[in-house]
């Protein structure tokens, strides 16, 4: 187990609003901890791109990560990524952002429904029907998939951790199985990587997003690519949960995880 190579395709530097450490510091800690490959994927909320200063942050992130990539050449493989959230709400802008830099990997994610705040900021679900919100969430993921200019479909059960925090129960993905199946099928057809996101391990829910059964279902529906990410916002957390994510991938029948260089996929061994 000790010679297991760690790849982490979802991490945030201080060019994310909730990040803490510079790309170079994160790279130094990752290299010291024996990480093989890391993608820095700072937040880019496309629906509030100009309003919340993501235009400046995205540029800064790309060049900070580029500097780290050069500085750590031969010690740690660094991939230049971005977590593009709500891209299909403003598709022309999203297209522009993707083409603005020579990214290695683009993560597609949804943090908020249209006109609403990120689930992260929810204090209560009063006045909402959680099931309606989740149905809307999966509909938006389907639309994002139709837009399609990304490589990794991120944390498809993202709201579950906040539902657990606030309502105290683990939402049942099977209630949405028609939409989830459709989503997984599209993900497979379009040859995107389904992310096994371990960020939920930092939350009381303490679960990966999505769970093993969903990863298995994706495989059944023809899915060929999975990726793994800690969604870490601290240098010390890079690689956190990745061995467990490999286990999920293996149990679901995958014998490698996806790696991306200049958006071309390759196989990263997990055994
Ligand atoms: Zn995210
Ligand atoms: Zn993230």
Which ligand is nearest to the Cα of residue 45, counting in written order? 1
Q: How far apart are CA 180 and CA 174, in angstroms?
A: 8
The distance of Cα 65 from the centroid of its chain, to the nearest Å, equals: 17
Q: What is the pLDDT of residue 79?
A: 98
Instruction: Give 235 Cα–ligand 2 centroid separation in angstroms.
Output: 14
Look at residue 253 and tell me if it is in a domain. yes
Helix ranges (H only) for 72-120 are 91-100
Tokens for 269, please give them: 């061994």
Rounded Cα distance between 46 and 48, Å, is 5
Calculate the average pLDDT of the chain.
97
The ligand that comes nearest to the alpha carbon of residue 156 is 1
pLDDT, one tens digit per residue, over 125-153 is 999 999 999 999 999 999 999 999 999 99
In a domain, 47, yes or no: yes
Q: Which domain holds residue 148?
A: 7-269
Q: What is the pLDDT of residues 179-234, one digit of tens each?
A: 999 999 999 999 999 999 999 999 999 999 999 999 999 999 999 999 999 999 99
Distance in Å, CA 152 to ligand 1 centroid: 11
Ligand of minimum distance to the alpha carbon of 86:
1
The answer to whether residue 1 sits within a structural domain is no
With respect to residue 2, please indicate whether it lies within any of the assigned structural domains.
no
What percentage of the chain exceeds 70 in pLDDT?
A: 99
What stretches of the chain adopt beta strand conformation (E)? 7-11, 37-45, 77-85, 105-109, 152-153, 193-197, 226-229, 256-261, 264-269
pLDDT in tens, 44-64: 999 999 999 999 999 999 999
Task: Quote the tokens at residue 169.
Answer: 């129960």
Q: Going by C-beta distance under 8 Å and a sequence separation of 6 or more, which residues neighbour residue 268?
A: 5, 7, 37, 256, 257, 258, 259
- Which residue in the block uniquely carries the two structure tokens 């309003």? 51
Contacts of 260 (CB under 8 A, 6+ apart): 9, 39, 79, 81, 104, 105, 151, 152, 266
Residue 19 lies in a domain: yes
- For ligand 1, the distance from its centroid to the CA atom of residue 111, given in whole angstroms, is 6
In a domain? residue 43: yes
CA of 108 to the centre of ligand 2 (A): 10
**Residue 2 has what pLDDT?**
54
Q: Could you tell me which residues come within 8 angstroms of residue 143 by beta carbon, excluding any fewer than 6 positions away?
A: 88
What pLDDT, on the 0 to 100 scale, is given for residue 271?
A: 80
Ligand number nearest CA of 17 is 2
Nearest bound ligand to CA 11?
2
Phi, psi of 57 (to 5 degrees): -60, -40
Q: Are 247 and 196 in contact (CB under 8 A)?
A: no
The answer to whether the CB of 185 falls within 8 A of the CB of 146 is no
User: What spacing in Å lies between the alpha carbon of 83 and ligand 1's midpoint?
Assistant: 7
Answer whether residue 181 is part of any domain: yes
Q: 153 alpha carbon to ligand 2 midpoint, in Å?
A: 12
pLDDT above 60 (res 124): yes
Cα of 110 to ligand 1 centre, how many Å? Answer: 7
Mean pLDDT value across residues 92-109: 98
Domain total in the chain: 1
Ligand having the closest approach to the CA of 9 = 2
Residue 16 — pLDDT band, cuts 50, 70, 90?
very high
Residue 251 in tokens: 């149990």
Ligand 1 mean position, distance from CA 70 (Å)? 26
The CATH number of residue 197's host domain is 3.20.20.140
Domain annotation covers residue 55: yes
The answer, yes or no, to whether residue 1 has pLDDT greater than 50, is no
């Amino acid at each position: 187990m000790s010679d297991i190579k760690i790849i982490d395709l979802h991490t945030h530097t201080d060019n994310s609003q909730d990040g803490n450490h510079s790309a170079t510091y994160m790279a130094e800690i990752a290299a010291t901890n024996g990480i093989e490959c890391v993608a820095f994927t700072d937040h880019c909320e496309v629906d509030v791109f100009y309003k919340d200063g993501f235009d400046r942050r995205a540029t800064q992130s790309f060049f900070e990560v580029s500097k780290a990539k050069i500085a750590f050449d031969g010690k740690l493989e660094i991939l230049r990524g971005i977590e593009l959230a709500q891209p299909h709400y403003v598709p022309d802008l999203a297209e522009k952002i993707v083409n603005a830099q020579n990214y290695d990997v683009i993560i597609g994610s949804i943090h908020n429904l249209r006109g609403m705040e990120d689930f992260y900021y929810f204090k209560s679900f009063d006045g909402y029907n959680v099931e309606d919100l989740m149905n809307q969430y999966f509909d938006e993921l389907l639309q994002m998939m139709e837009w399609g200019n990304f490589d990794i479909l991120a944390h498809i059960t993202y709201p579950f951790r906040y539902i657990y925090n606030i309502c105290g129960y683990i939402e049942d993905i099977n209630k949405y199985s028609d939409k989830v199946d459709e989503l997984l099928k599209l993900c497979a057809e379009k040859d995107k990587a389904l992310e096994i996101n371990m960020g939920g391990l930092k939350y009381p829910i303490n679960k990966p997003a999505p769970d093993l059964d969903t990863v298995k279902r994706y495989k059944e529906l023809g899915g060929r690519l999975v990726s793994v990410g800690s969604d870490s916002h601290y240098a010390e957390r890079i690689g956190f949960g990745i061995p467990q994510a490999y286990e999920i991938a293996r149990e679901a029948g995958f014998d490698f995880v996806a790696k991306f260089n200049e958006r071309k996929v390759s196989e990263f061994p997990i055994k």
